[in-house]
Chains A and B, each alone.
Chain A
Amino acid sequence: MDEVTADDLARERFFADVPDRHRAVLAPTARAVVVPDGHRFFEEGGRAEWFWLVRSGTVALDLQVPGRGAVVVETLPAGSVVGWSWLFPPHRWRFGAVAVGPVTAHRFEGPRVRELCAADPALGYDLALRFGAVMLDRLEATRVRVLDLYARPEQVP
């Protein structure tokens, strides 16, 4: 794993307009990782201690469904943040995540980032807003999928 610099973060859309001093504080908590196809980032129910910023490749979020195995509920392309359970108690993963093909990412230490946010409310507020925006996007996308837009009329309840 390689170190990640503040300049590295500046090149990622998620951090593009983060103040320089915040990027400088966050960068030491991150490492560049490369994982192979099929690598499981985390399992549902496990301790949530990391989050990832996907730089290339795709990560699938899944849920274990009895009788059906791991059902993919969403895939996250390059540029996506994977994992927010580290931010909220009880810090347990609610879904699983697996690499679909080789993936490169920046991996961040969740507990360390929480400590930094607690020590610097401006950083905490900034990061909370960014994660809030990610969650809002995912919630809106999920709601639209619930509408079943492409269904045949007779399939729509």
Chain B
Amino acid sequence: MTGARSPVAPVPYRVVGRREETADTVTLVLEPAGPSIPEPAPGQFTMMYAFGVGEVPISVSRTGRVLEQTVRAVGPVTRALCATRRGQVLGLRGPFGTGWALEAARGRDLVFAAGGIGLAPLRPAVLRALDEGAAFGRVAVLIGARTPADLPFAGELDEWRRRGAQVEVTVDRPGPGWTGHVGLITALAGAADIDPAGAAAFVCGPEIMMRLTAEALTGLGMDPGAVRLSMERNMHCGVGWCGHCQLGPLLICRDGPVVPYERAVPLMTVREL
């Protein structure tokens, strides 16, 4: 970002590409329409503003000056974002949050475990790990989805495999012709071709999925300190001012969304915080 721009002022970005990932999920390719926000790190998010409708936190699914953000239509703002077309302008603030801290995992085997659209914030980290293959050990990407049709980034998973990653997909509800895994993502943990004792894990999806996946991975011998989760809360300001995203002692927009497993789990099992 040039100059001392306010962290609460959106920066205009133009939609230069658009891919429908699933029936309700769209990836937008965004280019700065003027000054840009700083380049996001894998795992960071922006506050995306559909002008006149509202603002929501959305993970960055490809980093860079021209970046990608993947949006699932679940409410008025996300529906407006998903409906944007090439040439239209959106607002971005950020990037915010902690990111996946891949640097700390150098030399280790990596496990990426995603539930549904949780693959979006993991994607930049997967791509970084594949780009810097020699810096890491084996890479396993485990993905759980509701149905085969609900799998985001399905078109590029073979490319990840070709570049050396083990990619395993499991669905809750197989359709006709599906010959892959069926069941909870936890069943894939044991199938990951990694050394659990020396691996790091990055997990993103519904909270229950993340908790059970982290339990499965640590049950195989992974150090709980090497497991990170991406928490989702109702983020508004993005800079720890407003308190909307408070989770116990954490302000997720500032202290997260990526949180160490040991720090997150005690908070995930509290009924209300």
Show the binding face of A for B, using Cβ within 8 Å. 13, 58, 60, 71-80, 100, 137, 140-141, 144-145, 147-153
A30 to B123, CA, bound (A): 43
Within 8 A of A (CB), among B67-103: 72, 74
Specify which chain A residues have a CB less than 8 angstroms from the CB of B150 in the assembled complex.
150
A150 engages B115 (CB within 8 Å):
yes
Show the binding face of B for A, using Cβ within 8 Å. 24, 72, 74, 115-116, 144-146, 150, 170, 172, 174, 178-184, 186-188, 190-191, 205-206, 208-209, 212
A149 engages B208 (CB within 8 Å):
yes
A75 engages B209 (CB within 8 Å):
no
Q: Which of A75, A137, A148 contacts B182 (CB 8 A)?
A: A75
B144 engages A150 (CB within 8 Å):
yes
Specify which chain B residues have a CB less than 8 angstroms from the CB of A149 in the assembled complex.
115-116, 205-206, 208-209
Q: Which residue of A lies closest to B192 (CB)?
A: A77
Q: Which residue of B lies closest to A100 (CB)?
A: B179
B183 engages A141 (CB within 8 Å):
yes
Specify which chain B residues have a CB less than 8 angstroms from the CB of A60 in the assembled complex.
182
A140 to B208, CA, bound (A): 12
A71 to B171, CA, bound (A): 13
Give how many A-B residue pairs fall within 8 Å (CB-CB): 66
B74 engages A144 (CB within 8 Å):
no
Specify which chain A residues have a CB less than 8 angstroms from the CB of B191 in the assembled complex.
77-79
Specify which chain A residues have a CB less than 8 angstroms from the CB of B181 in the assembled complex.
58, 75, 77
Q: Which of B180, B186, B187, B206 contacts A150 (CB 8 A)?
A: B206
Specify which chain B residues have a CB less than 8 angstroms from the CB of A58 in the assembled complex.
181
B187 engages A152 (CB within 8 Å):
no
Q: List 25 A-B contacts (CB under 8 A).
A: A60-B182, A72-B182, A74-B182, A75-B181, A75-B187, A77-B187, A79-B191, A137-B186, A141-B184, A141-B186, A141-B187, A144-B209, A145-B183, A148-B146, A149-B115, A149-B116, A149-B206, A149-B208, A149-B209, A150-B144, A150-B146, A150-B150, A151-B146, A152-B72, A153-B74
Q: Shortest beta-carbon distance, B211 to chain A, in Å? A: 10
Other than the given A78-B190, A150-B116, 18 more pairs (CB < 8 A) read A13-B190, A60-B182, A74-B182, A75-B170, A75-B182, A75-B183, A77-B181, A77-B188, A77-B191, A137-B186, A141-B187, A144-B184, A144-B209, A145-B172, A148-B172, A149-B205, A151-B146, A152-B72
Whether A150 contacts B145 in the complex (CB less than 8 A), given A79-B190, A79-B191, A144-B212, comes out as yes
Interface centre among B150, B181, B182, B208 (most CB of A within 10 A): B182
Specify which chain A residues have a CB less than 8 angstroms from the CB of B212 in the assembled complex.
140, 144
Q: Which of A71, A148, A152 contacts B74 (CB 8 A)?
A: A152
Q: Shortest beta-carbon distance, A154 to chain B, in Å? A: 9
